[in-house]
Each structure stands twice: as C-alpha cells, then as structure tokens.
Amino acid sequence: MAAPDDSSSRSVPRGSRPPGSRSSKPGEKRTSKPGDKRSSKPGDKRSSKPGDKRGGKPAEKRGSKPGEKRTSKPGDKRGAPPGRKPSPPRDRATRPDDDRPRGPRIPDEITGKEIDRRVAAELRTLPEGLAEQVARLLVATSSVIDDDPAAALAFAQEAKRKAARVAPVREAVGVAAYAAGEYAEALSEFRALRRMTGDDAYLPVMADCERGLGRPRKAIELLASVPEASLPPDARVEARIVMAGARRDLGQPEAALLLLQGPDLSTRRTEPWLARLRYAYADTLLDLGRVDEAATWFERAMDADTEGQTDAADRLAELQGVTFGDDWIEDEPTSD
C-alpha cells in the first residue's frame, strides 16, 4: 500500500508500487449548420417569373449553350471542376496518422511479462493485444515512480485511457498521482478504486490527499467514517500517522503525539510502516520543543528505515549540528 508519511514532502513508500487525439475525429459532423441548403439561402425564391408554365421552353443552363452536352461525367459532384474525379473516401486503416505513436514511449526492454500475477489475472478480461499494452504501461509506471513520478503518472494515465475499468490501472494512476503531488487526481482515482473493489486499504492515503489539498478536517472525518477494526493491520498504523498529521495541521501537536504513542513504536519486528511511525513521532516531539527526545526517535527511525523512505538521517544530523558540504565524500574503509 502506498503509505503517507508526516514529512512535508510526501512520497509513496517503496514496496507498494502498482505491478505496472486523433487529427480527425470519428463521427465528426460537417461544419454547416442544420437547416442550411446547398448554394441557396433560406427563404430565397426561384428566379422564374409569374406566369411561366411548365410546358414552355426549357430554361437555359448557366455556362452552356442550348443543345450543348454537359462535360461533367456521371458521378461528378457539384462544384468539382469538369473532368476531375472526386477522391475516393479513405479507409480509416489507411490514414497516415493511424501509425503515429500514442502516449509516452515504453522502454523496449519492458515486455509486460514482469507484471504481478494478480494484476495479470485481471488484465485477462481485455483483448490479448490490449492486455499486453496495458501490462507494459503498468510495469513502466512502477519502474520510474521513484526517480520520475511525473513520467510514471504519464504511463499510468495512458494505461487508464486504454483500460479505465480495470482496478489495478486505477490504482496505478492513484499511486503515481500521489507520488507526483497531484493530490486531487490521486484522490479521485482512489475513490474510484474504492467503489470498484469495496476495499478500504487506501483510506489513509485518501485522507493524506485531503491534507495535501489543505483540508485536514476532511481528512479526520474520512478516517473517522470507517471503524478502525475494518482496516488491515498496516492501514491502521498508517491511519494513525495521517490522523496525527492532520491534528498538527490544525495546531494540535499534543493530540497528535497521543495518537502516535503505543507499543508498536518499540516493536522489534521489521514492519514497512515502522520507520514512518517513528519519524512522525520524532517530528511531533520536535514540534513540541522536546529536542533531545526528538533526536532519539529520529535515530530509531533511521535504524528502521532500511529502504530510505524518510530523511531521518538528515534530520538527526541537523539536530546534532552536523553539516555535509556538496563535496563531502564518505571515507571508505582502508585495508591494513
């Protein structure tokens, strides 16, 4: 699950990645307005004079002498120069722009077979060729989300354009949008995913999107709308982290600290949420002016952060007065 942290720069935690205009519009109408007649204005009357009868002399045709044959061939359209055949309608399949690449370019080494089995099973509802395209887009999304969230979002959006009714596709768009800081789009996608699956696992991330949009009270209301027991164990911890962040947004750091306290802060188990929980606790202590305690918990967060989810090491160094210049290089151990 993409899990929020309490730092000012939100990022999608590792381990929760998703497993992955045409120039002429079909059905486009002509530009003439309804009711317009060809070559005549509405309300114009014929040029025949009153009293003319139908059995009289045939009227002369414009641009030709009486008795002269017309030069146009059968099938010519009005307004086309005499002798020129109208161009046959081009089939959509032969249009030159049909082969133009759509969306972002997927690296050639991505085949789509790297996709998670659960996601692959859901993609089987699509035609074979389309399923492969969507799988490649989802894998591309996952492959760049850490280094280039905007590119990841572009891949995910293209997957949505092709398969918007597939739940993992909407999940991928939501996670990528969240990573890119596009909280409104992320919230919309997670809402859609929740409707499609009935799963509340992403509820904490949805609440954090509300925080990102400057709506901490809505974040609290959203988290309170679902019984805590109905959430998966990991999501319960994430919900506490987000709720505490919302309380801090409202200027209530004491209430935030109470939400974060519990035996899981000192657990010896390796949990994906442990570094973020300790980081949020340390940051809240710092907000309350308890600097020494904050340094202790930043250090513990750093110890638990084996995947670099937080900047606990930098925060600890800052509190200890340690600065690193741009040209600083860590000394490598020397062999005797």
134 in Cβ contact with 20 (< 8 Å): yes
Task: Let me know: does 115 contact 17? Beta carbons within 8 Å.
Answer: no
Q: Are residues 129 and 195 in the same domain?
A: yes
Rg of the chain over all Cα atoms, to the nearest angstrom: 33
User: Could you say which residues of the chain have pLDDT below 50?
Assistant: 1-67, 72, 74-78, 80, 90-101, 336
In a domain, 78, yes or no: no
Do 229 and 252 lie in a common domain?
A: yes
b/e 231-254 (16+ beta carbons within 10 angstroms → b): beebbebbbbbbbbbbbbbeeebe
- The pLDDT value given to residue 270: 85
The conformation of residue 99, written as its DSSP 8-state character, comes to G
- Same domain for 121 and 191: yes
Tokens of 234: 């990991």
pLDDT reported for residue 83: 56
Residues 192 and 119 grouped into a single domain: yes
The residue among 184, 199, 214 that closes a domain is 199
Q: How far apart are CA 258 and CA 270, in angstroms?
A: 23
Q: Quick one: tokens of 202?
A: 């992403």
Residues 5 and 294: their CA atoms lie apart, in Å, by 16
pTM beyond 0.75, yes or no: no
Q: Kindly tell me the sign of the dihedral angle through the C-alpha atoms of 302, 306, 310, 313.
A: positive
> What range does the domain containing 220 cover?
201-260
Q: Is residue 309 part of a domain?
A: yes
Q: Single out the residue in 152, 178, 199 at which a domain terminates.
A: 199
Pair 152, 129: CB distance under 8 Å = no
Any domain includes 286: yes
**What tens digit of pLDDT does each residue of 74-130 get?**
444 445 455 555 555 544 444 444 444 467 899 999 999 999 999 999 999 999 999
Q: Is residue 21 part of a domain?
A: no
- Give the three-class secondary structure for 159: helix
pLDDT of residue 87: 52
User: What is the rounded CA–CA span in Å between residue 224 and residue 246?
Assistant: 12
Final residue of a structural domain among 260, 276, 304:
260
φ and ψ at residue 40, rounded to 5 degrees = -145, 150
Identity of residue 28: E
Residues 186 and 236 both lie in one domain = no
Q: Count of domains in the chain? A: 3
Statement to judge: residues 224 and 164 lie in one domain: no
